[in-house]
Amino acid sequence: MHPALTGTVAIVTGAGRGIGAAVARRLAESGATVAATDLDGAAVRGLAASAAPLPAGQAASGSITGYPLDVTDAADVESTVDRVEAELGPVGLLVNVAGVLLPGPVAGYTDADWARTFAVNTTGVFYPCRAVTGRMAGRGGGAVVTVASNAASVPRVGMAAYAASKAAAAQFTRSLGLEVARYGIRCNVVSPGSTDTPMLRTLWTDDSGPAATLAGQPEAFRVGIPLGRIAEPDDIADAVLFLASPQARHITLHNLCVDGGAALGA
């Protein structure tokens, strides 16, 4: 366990699968008391049960407790943060991972898909940040890490809404960091590239998907991955853990790109 995270209460959104689940596990392994939240309550309850089964109503350092949460519902966010603090203790870390990817060209993109993309990827960062940092401020410290995307800095064909929503989330998080730095709260961003998650696999139509991701798509103005591998969720979780830890105590407003060079350092 990382001694400085032992006892830290952390909320992770979108923890039901993929990167969010990896982040929740990594934080728990490092000593944090993790509130794993997701719209799929069954998924985070399953994650909690598989990670560290505990008697009902109990939590401890290095544990995961699952909470259903709709990050697009302000009232649900506030009540869930209240519940987490009542049951686990004051929140010292928020990791925003919840996200959706609804690809498609702008000309055919529906109003509903646009609204859903921004509701989850952008507003779904704003609500938890507002709820948690407001409480952190009175306690004199804390950390926020938002998982965005390298698409926020590099245009992607068929992903305009996703890219725009992630860019908004990243810039919101960094701007928030300016406002709350005076309270000792650090706000940083991790921007993954292609990562082996259920979200990425929805973009693969056949067995050639992984190879095409590595090679790139010149017709879509997309380079491949210079390091020659697709990230695992744990690669992203390790970056989150670093920015959440005291090893990053003098880092705030930073955007750490974890994509094997796919965005060419953008």
Radius of gyration of the chain (CA): 18
- CA-based torsion, 168, 174, 179, 184: positive or negative: positive
Helix/strand/coil for 185: strand
Alpha helices, DSSP H only, in 88-204? 111-118, 124-137, 160-180, 198-201
* Catalytic, out of 67, 109, 162, 183: 162
For residue 22, report the phi and psi dihedrals to the nearest 5 degrees: -65, -40
67 is an active site residue: no
CB within 8 A of 254, min separation 6: which ones? 188, 189, 243
d(CA 61, CA 105): 46
Could you list the active site residues?
Answer: 162
